[in-house]
Amino acid sequence: KAGVTQTPRYLIKTRGQQVTLSCSPISGHRSVSWYQQTPGQGLQFLFEYFSETQRNKGNFPGRFSGRQFSNSRSEMNVSTLELGDSALYLCASSLEGPGGEKLFFGSGTQLSVL
Amino acid sequence: AQTVTQSQPEMSVQEAETVTLSCTYDTSESNYYLFWYKQPPSRQMILVIRQEAYKQQNATENRFSVNFQKAAKSFSLKISDSQLGDTAMYFCAFMNLRTGNQFYFGTGTSLTVIP
């Protein structure tokens, strides 16, 4: 079974631009979560999608948004990029029900904002 | 709000020795899970071990075991017979069953296994 796939692996943008990151979950997983990882901050929860609906949201500004498609693939968008948005963005998928507490992560997208 | 604290930013251990990574958390919830994840240089987070809060018995997975002290809100990870492949960042994480798939992570401990 293929793992969680995130594209692209690396991205370089300039301030003010917008960016879209993609995540394909493990087959059969309907929950997709996004996390931002920065040095010294650990991982911070952005949002979670289940069946095309945002189910949970973390404390990030409205510039961070996401969506999920009917095939469970998810995209995350960041508009009006700021230098502080430079981070590793991790996507994770999980089952619903028993076993759903286990997150399976992708290798992340490293975003650099110049 | 839930918080997870890892007070050891960096640790090192000799190959074949035992090391313990510390984690404390703060919550008013009673039903939750605790996790240790490993992040090697490849960046992919890998689940090491999981503990259900309602279980008193400490979880074990081969060379990895935890010391779960619910009253003290402490959840440490013990790695026995350390191997070079254990070199990685280790993150402690908390999940509240009531709010579902929203994990809270600590800031991580960078572990280096010395040959």
Which pLDDT tens digit goes with each residue over B56-110? 899 999 999 999 999 999 999 999 999 999 999 999 999 987 777 789 999 999 9
A49: nearest CA partner in chain B: B101
Q: Are A103 and B43 an interchain contact pair (Cβ–Cβ within 8 Å)?
A: no
With a cut of 80, say whether residue A40 has pLDDT above it. Answer: no
Mean pLDDT across B44-67? 93
pLDDT the model gives residue B45: 92
Of the residues A5, A46, A93, A101, the best mutation for testing chain B's interface (the one with the most B CB atoms within 10 Å of its CB) is: A101
The residue type found at B45 is: M
Burial class (CB in 10 A: 0-12, 13-18, 19+), A6: buried
pLDDT of residue A107: 93
B28 near A CB under 8 A: no
For the stretch A46-104, pLDDT in tens is: 999 999 999 889 999 999 999 999 999 999 999 999 999 999 999 999 987 655 678 89
What pLDDT, on a 0 to 100 scale, did the predictor assign at position A75? 98
Query: For A4-108, where are the E strands, in sequence order?
Result: 5-7, 10-13, 19-24, 31-38, 42-50, 53-57, 64-68, 74-78, 87-94, 104-105
Secondary structure letter of residue B45 according to DSSP: -
